[in-house]
Structure 1
Amino acid sequence: MSHCVLNQNAVIHGWERARGAFPFAIELLRQGIALIQLPCPEFIVLGGDRPPMTYEEYRDLPNYRQKCQELLHPIIQQIQAYQAEGYQYLGIIGINESPNCSISGQRGVLMEEFFSECEKAQIGTSFLEVPTWYSEDAQGDFEEQLQGFLERGVKK
């Protein structure tokens, strides 16, 4: 799951959509669904007081893609280790229109690398994205989308 789903403190200051974690993530934990939090390369590389940047700006940042790959290696290893123990991997939850965590449309830099690493490791990955309109105060029909994602993952 994208880092900021569980930690809105990592997003660009003033762009937070919840206090702490998104409400749906807290509910997943209440349901007993374990979560693996992806690292936030934006925060790690540029810090909390970074300016808003586009996909192209991150893509073209020297060594940024390599840093994403390095950050993802332990995540891929964790997924493989959990699968070897018989746990079910349901998929990834990203952030729509994020320069790093978007999955559909223009895939973010981190997600490009994540899906590439999953392919190399032969990890099938379904996904769900948090819509741009989702917030602590405006959850809309996202819970229905989340339930569909969970049900698809359980059937695999």
Structure 2
Amino acid sequence: MHRSKKVIIFSHCILNQNTVVNPLARAKGAYTSIVKKILDLDIGIHQLPCPEYLFLGLDRKPMGKEEYDSYEYRKVCRKIACMSIKIIKEYINKGYEIVGMVGINCSPTCSIRGERGILMEELFKLLYEEKIDLRSFEIPANYIEEGEKQDILRAFDDFLNNMTRQSKFIFP
């Protein structure tokens, strides 16, 4: 069997900047440098669906968290979070290592640190309820693929290479 049994959870737009609202895309397709680091370490990638795209499509206008924060949008995010928890639990139960989760800073949906985005609020709520501890990393809002900032790539290297605190069930 040719599996590393290592998986990382990615916010959708890290792999597909084409779904990012105009004019906020910061890479032509995927964040190539970030993705290459994952692939070089033989880590599988699980891409979360993009709730903004599912909810409003490609032609949506830029909106903040307050504008997205509605019952209907939270319902979309909660559905994605529930599906993702099932997947994460399956990986863990089958002996896979979830290397961590990567989000986007200042995203109304996928921000992890500071003011958490709506999808991440719903997902982390379920992770807490399921007693699952995931390491996390956030792509800074000012990261632009063409103007790569080496400090960001070094920080991501540190995140990937410091897998001593593996994601796990806190109380199995």
Q: What range describes the TM-score normalised by the shorter chain of this pair?
A: over 0.9
Which of the residues 15, 31, 38 maps onto 1:28? 38
**Alignment RMSD:** 1.3
Which of the residues 78, 81, 85 maps onto 1:76? 85
Comparing 130-139 and 42-51, the one that deviates more: 130-139
Which structure 2 segments of 5+ residues have no match? Answer: 1-9, 167-172
Q: TM-score, normalised by structure 1?
A: 0.93
Note if contact 1:8-1:17 (Cα within 8 Å) is conserved in structure 2: yes
Note if contact 1:96-1:131 (Cα within 8 Å) is conserved in structure 2: yes
Which of the residues 102, 124, 144 maps onto 1:93? 102
The runs of at least 4 aligned residues of structure 1 exceeding 4 Å deviation read none
Which structure 1 segments of 5+ residues have no match? Answer: none
1:46 aligned onto 2:39 = no
Superposed displacement of residue 38, structure 1: 0.9
Superposed displacement of residue 154, structure 1: 3.8
Which of the residues 22, 25, 42 maps onto 1:13? 22
Tell me the distance in 2 between the aligned counterparts of 1:135 and 1:40: 20
Note if contact 2:108-2:117 (Cα within 8 Å) is conserved in structure 1: yes
Note if contact 2:109-2:119 (Cα within 8 Å) is conserved in structure 1: yes
Q: TM-score, normalised by structure 2?
A: 0.85
Note if contact 2:37-2:157 (Cα within 8 Å) is conserved in structure 1: no
Superposed displacement of residue 138, structure 1: 1.9
Superposed displacement of residue 14, structure 1: 2.5
Aligned residues: 155
Superposed displacement of residue 46, structure 1: 0.4
Higher strand share: 2
Q: Deviations over 1:82-119 (max 9, x none)?
A: 11111111211110001111111111111101100111
Structure 1 152/30 Cα, relative in aligned 2: closer, same or farther at 3 Å? Answer: closer
Note if contact 2:103-2:112 (Cα within 8 Å) is conserved in structure 1: yes
Q: Residue 46 of structure 2: SS of its match in structure 1?
A: coil
